[in-house]
Amino acid sequence: MAPDSIKGSLREKGVRLTRQRELLLGLIDKSGEHLDAERLFQLAKAQDPKLNRVTVYRTLKLLKQGGLVDELDLMHYGGDQHYYETRMKQEHAHVICLRCGKVEEFFGEPLQRLRRQIESHFGFHILLARTEVGGYCSHCQSLRAREMEQAAREPDAQHALAEPDGHRSRAKRPA
Question: Whole-prediction pTM value?
Answer: 0.67
Task: Decide which of 28 and 1 is more confident.
Answer: 28
Number of structural domains in the chain: 1
For the stretch 26-53, pLDDT in tens is 898 888 788 899 999 999 999 999 999 9
**44 in a domain, yes or no?**
yes
Which one, of 82, 56, 61, lies nearest residue 71 by Cα? Answer: 82
Question: Does residue 146 belong to any structural domain of this protein?
Answer: no
Partners of 40 in the β-ladder: none
Question: What pLDDT score does 69 carry?
Answer: 85
Is 64 within the bounds of a domain?
Answer: yes
**Higher pLDDT, residue 161 or 94:** 94
Residue 162 has pLDDT above 80, yes or no: no
**Alpha-carbon radius of gyration of the chain:** 23
What CATH number is given to the structural domain containing 60?
A: 1.10.10.10
Determine the length of the chain.
Answer: 175
Which of residues 5 and 170 earns the better pLDDT score?
Answer: 5
Distance CA 27, CA 43 (A): 8
- 68 within domain boundaries: yes
Helix (H) or strand (E) segment spanning residue 3: helix 3-12
Q: Which helix (H) or strand (E) holds 19?
A: helix 19-30
Does the pLDDT value for residue 157 go beyond 90? no
pLDDT for residue 168: 43
The residues, any chain, with a CB within 8 Å of residue 137's CB and separated by 6 or more, are 97, 99, 100, 102, 104
Tell me, what amino acid is at 2?
Answer: A
Averaged pLDDT of the chain? 81
Q: Is residue 128 part of a domain?
A: no
What's residue 44's pLDDT?
95
**pLDDT tops 90 at residue 54:** yes
Task: Quote the pLDDT of residue 57.
Answer: 92
Is 138 inside any structural domain? no
In a domain, 134, yes or no: no
Q: Is residue 42 part of a domain?
A: yes
The predicted structure's pLDDT at residue 174: 41
Summarised one tens digit per residue, pLDDT across range 69-124 is: 888 888 887 777 888 888 766 788 999 999 998 999 898 899 899 999 999 999 99
Domain that holds residue 67: 1-89
